[in-house]
Amino acid sequence: MKPEHKPKNRNGARGSAVLEVSLLAPWMFFLFAGVFDMGFYATAMISVQNAARAAATHTSAGPTTAADSAGACAYARAELHSLYNVRSVDGCATLPLVVTAAQVTGADGSPASRVTVTYRTPRLIPIPGLAGQFTITRWAEMRLRES
C-alpha cells in the first residue's frame, strides 16, 4: 500500500507576501512620484515653447509690434493658462513668468522679432536628488511681415 501524500503546510509562507509588499511599497511610491513630476515638467516645457511661438506670431505682425512685450505677455499667458501657478499672474516682469520681446536681425539679414519666455515651475513632490523646481526658458524668432 502506498502512503497518501498530504498537502504541504503553507503556514510558513503566509507572511512572505506582506513582507514583500511592505518592502516594495516605498519604492513604488517614489517611482510613481517621479513619473508624475517628470510628466508635469515635460508638459511645462511644451507649454512654454508653445507660448513663445504664439507670442512671436503676434509680434511678427510688423515693425510696430516687434518689441511689444505687453502683447507678447498676453499671448503667452493665454497659452500657459493650464499651469496653475500662472493663473493668478497679472504681468510678465517677475518669475514665475517673464516674457520679453525685441526686434532683431534674423538669420537671413531681414528684420525679425524674438520673444523669450521664462517660466519657473512650482515645487512639487520633494524627491531626494531632484531639484524640485526648474526654470525653463524658450525663445522663438519670426521674420516681420511686410506692411
Say if 90 falls within a structural domain.
yes
Q: How far apart are CA 136 and CA 120, in angstroms?
A: 6
Whole-model pTM: value is 0.81
Q: What is the pLDDT of residues 77-133, one digit of tens each?
A: 999 999 989 988 999 999 999 999 999 999 999 999 999 999 999 988 776 776 778
Say if 139 falls within a structural domain.
yes
pLDDT band at 11; cut points 50, 70, 90: low
pLDDT band at 12; cut points 50, 70, 90: low
Say if 53 falls within a structural domain.
yes
Say if 5 falls within a structural domain.
no
Say if 9 falls within a structural domain.
no
Q: What is the pLDDT of residues 13-28, one digit of tens each?
A: 667 888 888 999 999 9
Percent of the chain with pLDDT over 70: 88
Q: How far apart are CA 16 and CA 12, in angstroms?
A: 8
Say if 137 falls within a structural domain.
yes
Res 1: pLDDT: 63
Say if 79 falls within a structural domain.
yes
Number of structural domains the chain divides into: 1
Q: Which amino acid is it at 135? A: T
Higher local confidence (pLDDT), 3 or 109 = 109
Residue-range definition of the domain harbouring residue 135: 14-143
Q: How far apart are CA 125 and CA 10, in angstroms?
A: 41
Say if 1 falls within a structural domain.
no
Higher local confidence (pLDDT), 129 or 1 = 129
Q: How far apart are CA 24 and CA 51, in angstroms?
A: 41
